[in-house]
Amino acid sequence: MRQGLLLVVLATVLVLARAATQQCTSWENVVIGGSDLQHAELVASPGQCCDLCYANADCTIYTWNATSKTCILKNKQSDSTSAYGVTSGTTNDRTIWSPCMGASSSYPFCDTKLSVDDRLKDLVSRVSTADAATQLRARESAQIDNIGLPAYYWGTNAIHGMQNTACLADGQCPTSFPAPNGLSATFNYSLVKDMGRIIGRELRAYYNTKFHNGLDTWSPTINPSRDPRWGRNVESPGESPFVCGQYGAAYTEGLQNGDDKDYTQAVVTLKHWVAYSVEDYDNVTRYEYNAIVSEYDLMDTYFPGWEYVVKNAKPLGVMCSYNSLNGVPTCGNPALTAYLREDWGFEGYITSDSDSIHCIWADHHYESNAVLATRDGLLGGCDIDSGDTYADNLEAAVNQSLVNRSAVDAALTNSYRMRFNLGLFDPNVTNAYDRISADEVGMSSSQETSLLAARKSMTLLKNDGQTLPFATGKKVAVIGKSSNSAEDILGNYVGPICPSGAFDCVQTLYQGVAAANQGGATTLSDDVADINTAIQLAMDADQVVLTISNYGQAGEGKDRTYIGLDTDQQELVAAVLKVGKPTAIVMLNGGLISLDWIKDEAQAILVAFAPGVHGGQAVAETIFGANNPGGKLPVTMYASDYVNDVDFLNMSMQAVAVLHLMNVNGERDDTGPGRSYKYYTGEPLYPFAYGLSYTTFNLSWSPAPPMTTFTSTLRSTTYTATVTNTGSVGGDEVVFAFYKPKSESLKTLPVGNPVPIKEIFGFQRVALGPGQSTQVTFELNAETLAQVTLDGHRELHSGEFEIELTRGHGEVLTGTAVVDVAQPERLATFRKWW
């Protein structure tokens, strides 16, 4: 979201208390609404401020400041933000909480005996073009008094927990989870589904208190982690489109599908559609970036995750992105909407990212003014404008015949349908979600799920000589950046965490280690520049926990130019390792940090990602052996000089680009080693799917599979292997299934057609005690082996494929699959728009 308009992840999130009087309903420590009336007076109490608002016929909302005694009157229910020492309220008889109440209940759109389509048709017919302009606006669609339609707040961010809100009066705060890069490393997506379920229920709990939040989330992010320099890698499930699709589907199913099968629990909004992975790099920002992407890369990398989620999980929301794609802004491109709706069956609403419609003319200069940008957005299929471009220009666009009212009606229908699915137009029909109480917010079982996710995300890259786990009761030195910072371990899009508004309820990594080191002594040095103190503490210690961190080096609106460890931290690491004590390096990261020489010098390396509110405990438990790490890397770790070999603004995934298209600079470097496990031709520091354990495992066929021949897309087969814990402690292992095309056998592919090195088609995580075994089975459908052609079509071609089952290291089980079709079979057709 554009930084100037962002509903900021508040540094101070305070306690929300609700009170009601005959005239007003009020909340403490929160600002609600825009000050459209520009009317302020000095009064002694919030009650007197309520009286002033009630006496003003235009006032629906007020905010009273306890320090200045200022009363501000408002008539716009816009954004809500936390603020200490203020009280905001709404006038009870002027604020419509639910549609279809009172006089409006007689309208056909309130008749539950009619079909939803008929009800929508009636509702949309009653919305004037002037009102439609503000109905199609986010963050808030305005209240329409004459038909009894309440305001609706869009887009509560919930990447890994509810944001844009405040804690409740009794001190309950929404449950916060590890950041998505760590969640993805669990390769246990039932946990992601559980997170979605908890977020969905907490959204309902807040909504049921009549707090100013909606029931749709602008989450999850399913853009692949294309390049380690991207500032938002912390939000991405990883570099694999397959994994991004699995993650997005799990989140969607958990959040949308609750106990009441007649209604949707809450609504996801997948983001950012599409080919979005540039923030601000080399004087090119996301607002004007034109992503030049070949037909091949679109169908092979940038589309598949979206297609999987839309087809299999039925998300009800999509967010289009800031960038242009091959010359056309994504939020104004009907061809992209056709893929979603016509090809994949999407039936939800589409919103712009914050001010993306404005960007069409102001940043991309695709149009000359905002009225034309409004036309492009509506005709391109963007239903909701997160900004004011539609609100300010929609009437003009209709009046000038640039867009027909039918396009406006389509956008209204798509956006209202979501609210019908949620049951918001059926206030007299009790659904299971109406009974979700505030008691569920941040409850202990949800916190346990968050802690479990943090434990499962721990990823061990190196453990020479069984350095880990450390023994408790010893002298332990905790050294390094972010080692005693609660905020640094939380990730981005952090919602309300602690009732105090600070992060005092979050245990830091140092505090977690100190608490777990029972009977021992734990010391701290978190000043990277103070190398002398760090050396002394390391010399005095029996064991050292050495943290490295890239916190603050990247984020939304900020890409990295260097992916290694900064010079100051490298000097600290070198000095501490030189002391020679048993040392475990703990990486706290958004995008991975290239370890370079540290990989060889370190004894033990644990990747903790951004482990969240329970990260301090999870890391400490892992360091001392109470938790056995079982995570796997969802991305490839390249050496830091990778940035010299690959142009960040080049969207190609292959070693050599398919088409020599021009980028924003008018030129393009098509050479390089490629990106991701699918195309990288170099030697990674650590590969995708890599991760060790404190125990040992063995993988064997059961039984060895015969060669399988597929003669049509209707065929499928299965591969089964036995996983055995051959060590002395319990642990988790993840088994991955890949296929590797033998490119020379794909003789009907066009000359020069790219072929991936390998592609994942399944993974399973299992938990086993010492000596225990279990079987894992993977299904392979013939259509999974289809290849993307140069012109973007997905086709099944005759050829040979090696099947691999692997734990990410160690033994690799192999088999053979053959496709034998008379001629290539077309499975999907690419439609070029440029």
pLDDT, tens only, 692-743: 999 999 999 999 999 999 999 999 999 999 999 999 999 999 999 999 999 9
Q: Give tens-digit pLDDT for 567-589.
A: 999 999 999 999 999 999 999 99
Could you give the CA distance from residue 215 to residue 238 in angstroms, rounded to a whole number? 27
Structure tokens, 703: 């039984």
For the segment 345-351, the average pLDDT, to the nearest whole number, is 99
Could you give the CA distance from residue 32 to residue 73 in angstroms, rounded to a whole number? 11
Query: How would DSSP label each residue in 762-823?
Result: EEEEEEE-TT-EEEEEEEEEGGGG-EE-TTS-EEE--EEEEEEEE-SSS-EEEEEEEE--SS
For residue 656, pLDDT beyond 80: no
For residue 659, pLDDT beyond 50: no
For residue 37, pLDDT beyond 90: no
Structure tokens, 649: 């603004």
Read off the pLDDT band of 660 (50, 70, 90): very low
Please tell me the predicted confidence (pLDDT) of residue 28.
81
The class of domain 100-150+269-434 in CATH terms is: alpha beta
CA 159 to chain centre: 5
Say yes or no: do domains 1-97 and 695-834 share a fold.
Answer: no
For residue 11, pLDDT beyond 50: no
Find the farthest-apart pair of alpha carbons in the chain and give their distance in angstroms, rounded: 85
For the segment 397-410, the average pLDDT, to the nearest whole number, is 98
Q: Give tens-digit pLDDT for 74-93.
A: 887 655 666 778 998 888 77
Question: Angle CA(114)–CA(120)–CA(125) in degrees, nearest 5?
Answer: 120
For residue 664, pLDDT beyond 60: no
Residue 670 and residue 658 in contact, taking contact as beta carbons nearer than 8 Å: no
Could you give the CA distance from residue 708 to residue 239 in angstroms, rounded to a whole number? 29
At which residue do the structure tokens 């246990």 appear?
A: 188
Q: Give tens-digit pLDDT for 136-179.
A: 999 999 999 999 999 999 999 999 999 978 888 788 999 999 99
Task: Specify the 3-state DSSP secondary structure of 83.
Answer: strand
Task: Give the domain ranges of the chain.
Answer: 1-97, 100-150+269-434, 695-834
Q: Give tens-digit pLDDT for 768-811.
A: 999 999 999 999 999 999 999 999 999 999 999 999 999 999 99
Of 549, 588, 555, 591, the closest CA to residue 570 belongs to 549
Read off the pLDDT band of 657 (50, 70, 90): very low
Please tell me the predicted confidence (pLDDT) of residue 35.
65
Could you give the CA distance from residue 403 to residue 419 in angstroms, rounded to a whole number? 25
For the segment 300-322, the average pLDDT, to the nearest whole number, is 99
Q: Which CATH number fits domain 695-834: 2.30.110.10, 3.40.1190.20, 2.40.110.10, 2.60.40.10?
A: 2.60.40.10
Protein fold of 1-97: Hepatocyte Growth Factor (3.50.4)
For the segment 251-276, the average pLDDT, to the nearest whole number, is 98
pTM attached to this predicted model = 0.93
Of 170, 167, 162, the closest CA to residue 14 belongs to 167
Instruction: Compute how many other C-beta atoms are within 10 angstroms of the C-beta atom of residue 709.
Output: 14
- 672's CB contacts (< 8 A; 6+ apart) are 645, 646, 647, 650, 655, 656
- 202's CB contacts (< 8 A; 6+ apart) are 162, 174, 175, 440, 441, 442, 446
